């Protein structure tokens, strides 16, 4: 029986040098670290900073704006959204239930429960 692909995303305000909120294929998981695939490269992230799921969610991630964010327009405010399909970051309209990605043009519901990350 083949291995089942799992997915992981950085789930912290700490800078792990990967896009927060984006889902990546999980290559390996230990109690200390998660190894995810980012642009065809293996990236090791502390296990405590990674959320792991058995399927890639098809919901926008809501990411609180971290203090070390760059290339994020001021008018986006205190949070932004990450597309579940292409990982594009974009402005998050208040109280929207779904939105279309400006990059891949797919429409997904918004996972508002992610708004207050650890």
> Can you list the domains of the chain with their CATH numbers?
6-53 (2.30.30), 59-114 (no CATH)
Residue 104 DSSP SS3? coil
pTM exceeds 0.85, yes or no: yes
Picking from 81, 18, 26, the residue whose alpha carbon sits closest to that of residue 55 is: 26
Cβ–Cβ under 8 Å, residues 59 and 110 = yes
Sign of CA dihedral 44, 112, 109, 79: negative
pLDDT tens digit sequence for 3-33: 679 999 998 888 898 999 999 999 999 999 9
Express each pLDDT in 78-118 by its tens digit.
999 999 999 999 999 988 999 999 999 999 999 998 654 44
């Amino acid at each position: 029986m083949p291995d089942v692909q799992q997915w992981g995303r950085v789930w912290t305000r700490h800078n792990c040098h990967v896009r927060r909120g984006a889902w990546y294929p999980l290559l390996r998981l230990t109690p200390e670290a998660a190894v995810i695939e980012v642009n065809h490269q293996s990236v090791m992230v502390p296990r405590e900073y990674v959320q792991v799921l058995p399927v890639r969610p098809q919901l926008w991630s809501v990411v609180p704006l971290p203090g070390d964010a760059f290339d994020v327009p001021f008018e986006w405010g205190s949070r932004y959204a990450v597309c579940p399909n292409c990982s594009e970051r974009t402005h998050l309209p208040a109280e929207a239930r779904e939105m279309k990605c400006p990059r891949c043009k797919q429409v997904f519901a918004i996972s508002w429960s992610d708004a207050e990350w650890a």
